[in-house]
Structure 1
Amino acid sequence: MKLKSQPMGVNLVMVDVQQQLEIYAHMYAHMDSESKEYDEVLLKPVYADDPFPNGLPKGWTKEDVEWIKNK
């Protein structure tokens, strides 16, 4: 990663950072992710014609189900 700032402040200080980053996870988990336990957000699709083929998502209520079916 390279980060280089524009001159700033009264003394026109510049910051130039060069650092190698090791990425071992994703911001959004995807179907083929090999790092799901480290990924931050897991997105699961919900389809109007068959919204819950694998069961109701955790924390969903009957009102949530009716809402998604009516969209």
Structure 2
Amino acid sequence: MKVILDQDKCVSSGQCVMAAPGVFDQRDDDGIAVLLDDSPAPADAEDVQHAAAVCPAVAIRIEQ
């Protein structure tokens, strides 16, 4: 699994951080999402897929 985050699309909602805190974080100054791990472990796959699904800006893409 490869995770791609488009920070230009991010609206700082924090949904990804709540769904997959080991994979996503937010910058302190503006809340834009930060990708901590672009190749998460298989155990995190469900959480990352959920994060992509709930992102209001559709800023997260997953490639297999």
Q: TM-score, normalised by structure 1?
A: 0.21
Q: Which structure's CA Rg is the greater one?
A: 1
Point out the structure with the larger strand share.
Answer: 2
Between 1 and 2, higher relative CO (CA 8 Å, sep ≥ 6) is seen in: 2
Q: TM-score, normalised by structure 2?
A: 0.22
Point out the structure with the larger helix share.
Answer: 2
